[in-house]
Amino acid sequence: MDPKAALDFEKGGGLVTAIAQDAESGEILMVAHMNLEAFERTLETGQAVYWSRSRDRLWHKGEESGNVQRVESISIDCDGDAVLLRVEQEGGAACHTGRRSCFFRRIEGDGYRDVGVQVFDPDEVYSK
């Protein structure tokens, strides 16, 4: 059965949720979204292509930083509105802040703490 037929883009206004998980460590790297074209491009290229809600365009992850995500497997959830990508993260960091994971703010007590692992300096990686 065609994987696209298992996806429900309607519920999310044309988008499904996409989670990137480090294939080796199991760490959650980031969450983004895909429209149908992003999903197809991901299948075709073997690298994660998302739909950027803030920039309103296709976003080949790593297009600027070089930190692409090589996709090892894709799974679809039970109701078809989310996909899970197990990836090998080039450069070792998924977050635009240079941290390995975007989920670097852990809630502790009444606040939160930065527990992120800094891998690169974003000022050196992204053009101004």
Would you tell me which residues interact with its own copies (CB under 8 A)?
Answer: 1-3, 6, 11, 17, 19, 21, 25-28, 30-31, 43, 53, 73-79, 81-82, 84, 95-97, 99, 102-107, 110-112, 115
Length of the chain: 128
The amino acid at residue 45 is T
Q: Closest separation between CB of residue 128 and its own copies, Å?
A: 19
Closer residue to its own copies, CB minimum distance, 4 or 63? 4
Token output for 32: 């983004």
Q: Closest separation between CB of residue 25 and its own copies, Å?
A: 8
Helices (H), the chain: 36-45, 122-125
Closer residue to its own copies, CB minimum distance, 68 or 82? 82
Look at strands 16-22 and 28-34 and give their pairing: antiparallel
**79 Cβ partners below 8 Å, 6+ apart?**
8, 11
Q: Closest separation between CB of residue 61 and its own copies, Å?
A: 14
Residue 28's SS3 state is: strand
Closer residue to its own copies, CB minimum distance, 68 or 71? 71
Closer residue to its own copies, CB minimum distance, 110 or 124? 110
